[in-house]
Amino acid sequence: MGYILEMRDICKSFGEVEALRHVDFAVGTNEIVGLLGDNGAGKSTLIKIITGYHYPDSGEFYFNDEKMEHLTVARVRQLGIETVYQERALADLQPLWRNIFMGRELSGPLGFLDVDKMRQETQRLMVGSMGFTSSAVMPESVVGSFSGGEKQGVAIVRALHFQAELIILDEPTMGLSLSETRKLLDFVRDIKKAGKACIFIDHNVFHVYSVADRVVVLDRGAVAGQFSTKNITLDQLMDKMYRVAQTGSLD
């Protein structure tokens, strides 16, 4: 199996703080990779480098074995990497359709918007993928009035709509109800079935273990270790996570 994404020797500092130290990280073409680590381990920084939001101080970035330089958010999305951010990246005062197409509005050659098409497409996604049956939710509804689960639904459907090859989920279960969490985990399994790849980040080891093919553990800005979920039991993984948190080493 080849890699859809490969990052070598990534370093990133913010002033005095070394957020990432010589990190190697890769995702297979049809692999679900769980990314685990305590607060401040560098998970979000790594994700924001992959999505082109931060630029690494050093290191190499390969997409489908091709070396990439000077990545921007727009370029990364063009490559087919979609992200559902922890902070959801929504604009609360704007209508649903503007949020779905944020940063990638459908437009003609001169940049004029195809508003009707975006509204129709939003309507279709609402009924089809988001499962919004409430008649109070319309493409014109302002996103700020939605519940936490509904907002998460919007963020996920937005990622799905654009035919992603690699979907990054950053703390997607935060603030979700039990049934919403279950739906989300099923959704991750569907990514696998569809032959696509996913990076799944969560505080909850159970969630990650139940869907991931491989788990990468970050600690204080470096990769502490990685395991195939086939070769490790949940108890062993939990054990190792505690040890890393306390001693900084897996064994």
Partner 1 sequence: MASCNEERPQPGNLTRFARRYGLQIGIVLVAVIVWVLFLIGSPQTFLSFPMYQAFMSTTPFFAMMALPLTLVIIAAEIDLSFPSVMAFGMTIFTLVLGATNSLTLAFIGCLLAGLLAGVVNGLLVARIGVPSLVATIGTQFFWRGVVLVVTGGNGRSLVPAQGSLLYNTLVGRLAGRIPAQMIWTIIVAIVVWLFLNRHKFGAHVYLIGDNIESAKLMGVNAARTKLLVFAIMGVVAAFAGLVVSLEVLYFWPTMGEGYLMSTLSSVFLGGTSVFGGVGTIFGTFVASFIIGAINGGIVAAGLAGFWTQLIYGLIIVASVSMHAVLRRRLA
Total residues contacting partner 1 by CB under 8 A comes to 35
Give the span between the Cα atoms of 200 and 185, in whole angstroms: 10
Q: Scanning residues 89 to 118, which ones bind partner 1 (CB under 8 A)?
A: 89-94, 98, 101-105, 107, 111-113, 115
Report, in Å, the least distance between residue 135 CB and partner 1: 5
Q: Answer whether 169's CB lies under 8 Å from 84's CB.
A: yes
Q: How near is the Cβ of 73 to partner 1 at its closest, in Å?
A: 4
Of 123, 178, 173, which Cα lies nearest the Cα of 152?
173
Which residue's CB is nearer to partner 1, number 103 or number 195? 103
Q: Which of 6, 7, 49, 88 binds partner 1 (CB under 8 A)?
A: 88
119-135: b or e for each residue (b if 16 or more CB lie within 10 Å)? Answer: bebbeebbeeebebeee
DSSP for 123-184, please give it.
Answer: HHHIIIII----TT--TTSBGGGS-HHHHHHHHHHHHHHT--SEEEEESTTTT--HHHHHHH
User: Least CB distance from residue 112 to partner 1, whole Å?
Assistant: 5
Report residue 63 CA to chain centroid gap: 16
Residue 240 Cβ vs partner 1, minimum distance, rounded to whole Å: 32
Q: Which is nearer to partner 1, 72 or 236 (CB)?
A: 72
Closest distance to partner 1 from the beta carbon of 212 (Å): 24
- Least distance from partner 1 to the Cβ atom of residue 140, Å: 6
- Cβ-contact 56, 12 below 8 angstroms: yes
Q: Which is nearer to partner 1, 102 or 194 (CB)?
A: 102
Residues 170-199 that bind partner 1 (CB under 8 A): none
Q: 196 with 164: CB under 8 angstroms?
A: yes
Residue 72 interacting with partner 1 (CB under 8 A): yes
Which of these, 201, 157, 195, 165, lies nearest to 76 by C-alpha position? 165
User: Could you list the residues that contact partner 1 (CB under 8 A)?
Assistant: 51-53, 72-74, 77, 83, 85, 87-94, 98, 101-105, 107, 111-113, 115, 133, 135-136, 138, 140, 144-145
